[in-house]
Each structure stands twice: as structure tokens, then as C-alpha cells.
Structure 1
Amino acid sequence: MLLIDTNHPMYRPLWVRLLIVGICAGWAVLEFINNEPFWMTVVGGIALYSAYVLLLTFKPSEPKPEEPVAPSEQD
């Protein structure tokens, strides 16, 4: 069971996936600096999980072909 739906088109660009992982990792570092071990562990776990799912095991799904649009009848 994946907690992140990797089939969503939002996750296709690499920069989006890197941004998500980077923000989570940065937040974990901030909690470490502020001496908050509980939140550092929680957010660090989220960062590790998102890095695993979005960067290491990510396989983009094939884009669905759009249905052909019927030409409109002109008078």
C-alpha cells in the first residue's frame, strides 16, 4: 500500500518530486536545530519515505491517450 499516489500527473516532473523531498528534509533539519527529537523523527521519516517512493522506486505511468475530438459540423 502506497501512501503517495504516484500515478497522479503532479508527480511526473522531477523538480516537483525533488521539491517535496527537499522541503521535508529541510523541515527535519530545522527540528533538529530546534532540539525537537520527536518532530525531527516524524518529519525525517516522511522525508525518507517520500525519497524512497518519489525518487528511488518512481516509475511514471504511461500518459493516457486523449480521445479524438469529433469535428464539429459547420452549417
Structure 2
Amino acid sequence: MANDRDHPWLRPLWVRIAIVVVCAIWSGLEFYSGQAFWGTLAGGMAVYAAWMYLVNHPKPQDQPSKEQQEE
């Protein structure tokens, strides 16, 4: 079974950043409206998403150069 972080939909950096930003905005809106529980929950999702999708995301494998492919 493949890891969810390896899904092709998550390859572009802008998608991963958008997920983190949406969760952070959601957290801010919840805190602003006085809902500390939901704000904390959404904030935790933002932190987890930042860790999994930005800090700890696997790097794309380097493509072999043309010279290496010819050998």
C-alpha cells in the first residue's frame, strides 16, 4: 500500500502549501468566532499538514542524465 503523501495529486508544491494555508485560515476563523476547540483542532491539522507535506515530504527522485542513460 502506498503512503498517502506519495499521491500524485500532492506532487505540486502549490497544492501542499494551499492545504496548510486553508487549515491555518480555518483555525483563525474558529478562534475569531470564539470556538477554541475547533480552532485548536484545525490548528493541529495545519501543523500536521505543514510537517507532513512541507517539511517531511519526500523529494522527487533525480532523473538520470542522458549520458547515464546511454551507458
TM-score (ref. length: structure 2)? 0.77
Matched, 1:44 2:43: yes
CA distance in 2, matches of 1:14, 1:7: 13
Q: Deviating runs (4+, > 4 A) in structure 1?
A: none
Q: Compare CA radii of gyration and give the structure with the larger one.
A: 1
RMSD of aligned residue pairs (Cα, Å) = 1.4
CA distance in 1, matches of 2:59, 2:27: 27
Shift of 1:60: 3.9
Identity of aligned residues (%): 44
CA distance in 2, matches of 1:61, 1:13: 11
8 A contact 1:6–1:60 mirrored in 2: no
Corresponding residue for 2:9? 10
List runs of 5+ in structure 1 lacking aligned partners: 63-75
- The change in CA–CA distance for 1:61 and 1:7 in structure 2 (over 3 A counts) is farther
Q: Higher relative CO (CA 8 A, sep ≥ 6), structure 1 or 2? A: 1
- Say which structure is richer in helix: 2
Shift of 1:61: 5.3
8 A contact 1:7–1:61 mirrored in 2: no
Matched, 1:24 2:23: yes
Shift of 1:27: 0.2
CA offsets, 1:29-60, max 9 Å, x none?
00011010000011100110000000000014
